[in-house]
Amino acid sequence: MEGAERFRVLIEEGRLQARIAELGAQIAEDYRGKDLVLVCVLKGAVVFLSDLSRRIDLPLAMDFLALSSYGDRTETSGVVQITQDLTRPIEGRDVLVVEDIVDTGLTLDFLLENFRVRHPRSLRVCTLLHKPSHTRRHVPLDYVGFVIEDRFVVGYGLDYEQKYRNLPYIGFLDR
């Protein structure tokens, strides 16, 4: 992609898709007979949700919610806000939160607290990436695609200043 030459490939497309197929198969096994709702955390998780959901061979619902935690900077502010909420109640349903990346854990910690008081029947998390080196809140991660070292990554939904979400691989800023 033009302007993307500053990025090096961390996880190539084939590896991403193979792992997503495994996650989808595992989720399908775990949620058979349940009332699954995939909750996509916008905007970063939208590409992952799109591929993951097609690897889950079950009837399921999707809903979307937008959070702001970073602004356009590359470090977490610790201040999280719901900028766009779910369209439907999740009470009594089996909610699987789909995230792009868990870094400090602050965003997810906030979200799970917020969801618990809505009384879903179950509440789990599926994240494509986990960067454990910056953990500030320990949140249980039920499904993890890849554990990565402390690098600022882009692509496959992840942005740098709102760009590069459409790269089909995970890259990192080479600076």
Residues that bind ligand IMP (CB under 6 A): 44, 69-70, 76, 99-107, 152-154, 158
Does residue 44 touch Mg ion according to CB under 5 A? yes
CA separation (Å) from 47 to 53, 158, 172? 10, 9, 17
Given strand 7-11, what is the order of strands in its sheet? 7-11, 170-173, 153-154
Residues in the chain: 175
Q: Which CB sits closer to Mg ion, 27 or 80?
A: 80
Stretch that binds Mg ion, among 34-42, 85-93, 122-130, 162-170 (CB under 5 A): 34-42
Per rule CB under 5 A, is residue 105 in the interface with Mg ion?
A: no
CB of 82 to ligand IMP, least distance (A): 13
Annotated active-site residue 103? The verdict is yes
In the complex, minimum distance from the CB of residue 32 to ligand IMP, in angstroms, rounded to a whole number: 29
Sheet holding 143-147, edge to edge: 81-84, 61-68, 36-42, 94-102, 122-130, 143-147
Give yes or no for residue 103 binding Mg ion (CB under 5 A): no
Q: Which of 30, 94, 103, 109 is catalytic?
A: 103
d(CA 175, CA 167): 19
Strands (E), 87-149: 94-102, 122-130, 143-147
Residue 100 lies near Mg ion (rule: CB under 5 A): yes
Q: Indicate the residue among 34 and 114 with the shorter CB distance to ligand IMP.
A: 114
Instruction: Rounding to the nearest 10 degrees, give the CA dihedral for residues 29, 110, 81, 129.
Output: -50
> Residues with catalytic annotation?
103
Residues that bind Mg ion (CB under 5 A): 41, 44, 100
